[in-house]
Amino acid sequence: PYMEQQGSHTLHPPRVLIFPFPLQGHVNSMLKLAELLALQGLHVTFLNTQFIYNRLLLHTDIQARFAAYPGFLLKTISDGLPDDHPRSSDTLLDLFDSMNSISKSLLKQMLASDELGSESSPSVTCIIADGLFGKFTTDVADELGIPIIHFRTIGACSFWVYFSIPNIIEAGELPIRGKEDMDRLINSVPGMESFLRCRDLPNFCRLSDLTNQSLHHLVQETHHSKRAKALILNTFEDLEAPILSHIQTQFPKIYSIGPLHTHLKHKLATVASSSQSSNSFLEVDRSCIAWLNAQPAKSVIYVSFGSLAVIVKDQLMEFWHGLVNSNTRFLWVIRTDLVTKEGDSAQILAELLDETKERWFIVGWAPQEEVLAHPAVGGFLTHSGWNSTLESIVAGVPMICWPYFADQQVNSRFVSEVWKIGIDMKDVCDRQIVEKVVNDLMVERREEFERVAEEMSMLARKSVNEGGSSYCNLERLIEDIRLARS
C-alpha cells in the first residue's frame, strides 16, 4: 500500500527516522528496531554519526543487509567533534555538547530539505530518537511539526530511577554522606523502597556536587521524554511490569517491545531469512566459538565489561587471580582499550600467560549473543550494561554483576534482589571475593540460579511470540506510526 490516493493528493507511505546516540549499545538495539520496522514494510531512514558509520562499514555488512529492504536509507550526520577525538566514556559530555549544537542544526536542515527521504517517501513522517538526546531532537521535531517518539536503550528500572532523582534530592536523601552511608535505603523512588540503596543509584549520584554535568544531563534528558508522543523501551512486561506501571503514571504511552534481539530473531525466522548479523564497532573474533566447542557443558564463565567500561591494571589482576583461583574455565573479552593508565593491555596479558592456559581464552571482542547461547557457557561476569543483561536473561545464563557507571548500578541490584538471577558484587574488586562469587554462581548456588534464569528466559521468549506482550506492543507501535502524519 505504498501510494494511496486521497482526493487530489498523493499520500506517500510513512517514513520513520531512527536516530541513536552514537554508542555501541544504542546503535545495536536501534538497528534491531529499524530492521523490525523494515520487515513490516515501513520505510526507514537510519541516521548514524559519520564516525560510527565508518566503524560499522569496517566491521559489518550493514549496507548489503539493509539494501534488501524497500525504502531503507542509511544516512550520516556529523557529531561535530574532530576526527581524532577519543569519544571515550570519560569524554561523553563533549559528545553531548557538540551534538546538541552542531548536529541539532544539521538535523533540522536535513529534515526540512527532505534529505532524509527517498522518491517514494520523501518526507519523514515520524522520528524515533534516542531519549539520551531527547531535548534537541524534540526541539527540532516540534519546530518542524513532526511527531516524535523517544526510544530508551536502558531498562524501565533505571529509567524510573533517573526520572526520580529530583524527588530523591528534594526528599533530602542525597547527597550520600561518605562510605558508611552507602547502604542506606532510598525511599523516594516509588516501587523500590525496600531494596534500593545509595550504592545502587547511578554512579553520578555519588559525587557530592549534585549539580554535576553528567547527572544533570541524564535527569534533564529523561524529563524531556515527557514531551514525546510516546516512549519505547527495550524490555518486556513479565520482567518489569511493576516499574512499568509506575512509569505509566508519568508517561501514558509506552511500548515495551523487547528483548529486541530476540524479537528480531523471531521475526526473521518467520520469514525464513538468515539469522541477524553483527552490529559491532569492533572486529569480532570468532575463534572463541571453536574453543567453547571443546569445553564441557556449562563449565565456562564468560567475562565482559561491554564497550565503554575501563579498568586499571590492579583491577585486571584481581579479576585474573580470582578467576584462575576459582578453577573455573573462563572466556574473557579484553578490548585493547579496557585497561587504562598503566599502558598496553597486550603487554599486561603477555605477563599473564601461565600453565593454566588450557582453562581460559581471551579475545578482543566476542560474538556475545552467540557466546551466551553456547551450551558450554554457564555464567556471565558482566558490567551490567542493559543489552548484556537482556542477552543473558534470554540465554538463561545467571550473572555476576560488577557495574561500572550510569544505569549499571541499578541493573545489577535488580538482577540480584528483584529477579534473583545472579550476584551483585558492585564496589568490590578483590581476588578472594571474585573467587568466592564465581564459585557460588558456578557451583554452590548453581541450581537455584539456573532454575530462576530458565524461567525468565522462557518468559522473555514468550513475550515476542505471536500474542505475547512485546509482540502485541510492536504491532501497536507500527499501527501508530502508520497513522502518524505531520
Q: Where are the beta strands (DSSP E) in 187-299?
A: 230-233, 254-256
Q: Which stretch binds ligand UDP (CB under 6 A): 23-31, 156-164, 177-185, 449-457?
A: 23-31
CB nearer ligand UDP, residue 191 or residue 385: 385
Nearest-angstrom CA–CA distance, 415 and 352: 31
CB 299 within 8 A of CB 328: yes
Contact between 131 and ligand UDP (CB under 6 A)? no
Sequence-distant (≥ 6) Cβ neighbours of residue 22 within 8 angstroms? 48, 49, 51, 52, 79, 87, 95, 99
Q: Which of 288, 366, 429, 434 binds ligand UDP (CB under 6 A)?
A: 366
Contact between 332 and ligand UDP (CB under 6 A)? no
Q: Smallest gap, in angstroms, from Cβ of residue 18 to ligand UDP?
A: 17
Contact between 222 and ligand UDP (CB under 6 A)? no
Q: Which of 256, 304, 392, 411 binds ligand UDP (CB under 6 A)?
A: 304
Cα 371 from chain centroid (whole Å): 17
Q: Smallest gap, in angstroms, from Cβ of residue 337 to ligand UDP?
A: 12
Q: Smallest gap, in angstroms, from Cβ of residue 261 to ligand UDP?
A: 7
Contact between 302 and ligand UDP (CB under 6 A)? no
CB 319 within 8 A of CB 404: no
Q: Where are the beta strands (DSSP E) in 108-244?
A: 126-130, 148-152, 230-233
Nearest-angstrom CA–CA distance, 311 and 52: 24
Q: Which of 20, 25, 131, 191 binds ligand UDP (CB under 6 A)?
A: 25
Alpha carbon dihedral 353, 358, 364, 370, in 10-degree steps, equals -170
**What is the bridge-based pairing of β-strands 4-6 and 9-11?**
antiparallel
Q: Smallest gap, in angstroms, from Cβ of residue 25 to ligand UDP?
A: 3
Q: Smallest gap, in angstroms, from Cβ of residue 113 to ligand UDP?
A: 33
CB 471 within 8 A of CB 255: no
CB nearer ligand UDP, residue 136 or residue 365: 365
CB nearer ligand UDP, residue 225 or residue 408: 408
CB nearer ligand UDP, residue 21 or residue 449: 21
Q: Which of 13, 14, 20, 385 binds ligand UDP (CB under 6 A)?
A: 385
Site string for ligand UDP, 237-276 (x = CB under 6 A): ----------------------------------------
Q: Smallest gap, in angstroms, from Cβ of residue 150 to ligand UDP?
A: 17
Q: Which stretch binds ligand UDP (CB under 6 A): 7-15, 269-277, 380-388, 467-475?
A: 380-388
Nearest-angstrom CA–CA distance, 407 and 200: 9
Q: Which of 388, 416, 463, 470 binds ligand UDP (CB under 6 A)?
A: 388
Mind telling me the catalytic residues? 26, 130
Contact between 391 and ligand UDP (CB under 6 A)? yes
Contact between 164 and ligand UDP (CB under 6 A)? no
Nearest-angstrom CA–CA distance, 172 and 257: 35
Nearest-angstrom CA–CA distance, 163 and 239: 19
Return the residue matching grid coordinates 557538540: 98
CB nearer ligand UDP, residue 158 or residue 307: 307
CB nearer ligand UDP, residue 121 or residue 153: 153
Nearest-angstrom CA–CA distance, 33 and 276: 12
Can you say whether residue 201 is alpha, beta or left, with left for phi > 0 and alpha for psi between -120 and 50 degrees?
Answer: beta
Contact between 188 and ligand UDP (CB under 6 A)? no
Sign of the C-alpha dihedral, residues 411, 414, 419, 425? positive
All three cell numbers of 66: 539493509
Nearest-angstrom CA–CA distance, 70 and 120: 10
Q: Smallest gap, in angstroms, from Cβ of residue 408 to ligand UDP?
A: 7
Q: Which of 258, 306, 322, 396 binds ligand UDP (CB under 6 A)?
A: 306
DSSP letter, residue 186 = P
Per rule CB under 6 A, count of chain residues that contact ligand UDP: 19
Nearest-angstrom CA–CA distance, 174 and 172: 5
Q: Which of 365, 380, 449, 471 binds ligand UDP (CB under 6 A)?
A: 365
Q: Which stretch binds ligand UDP (CB under 6 A): 213-221, 365-373, 392-400, 436-444?
A: 365-373
- Residue 4 burial (10 A CB sphere; 0-12, 13-18, 19+): exposed
CB 147 within 8 A of CB 111: no
Which residue's beta carbon is nearest to the bound ligand UDP?
A: 385
The secondary element (H helix, E strand) that includes residue 30 is helix 24-39
Contact between 202 and ligand UDP (CB under 6 A)? no
Q: Where are the beta strands (DSSP E) in 298-405?
A: 300-304, 329-333, 360-363, 377-382, 399-401
CB nearer ligand UDP, residue 158 or residue 280: 280
Residues near ligand UDP (CB under 6 A) are 23-25, 28, 280, 304, 306-308, 333, 365-366, 368-369, 385-388, 391
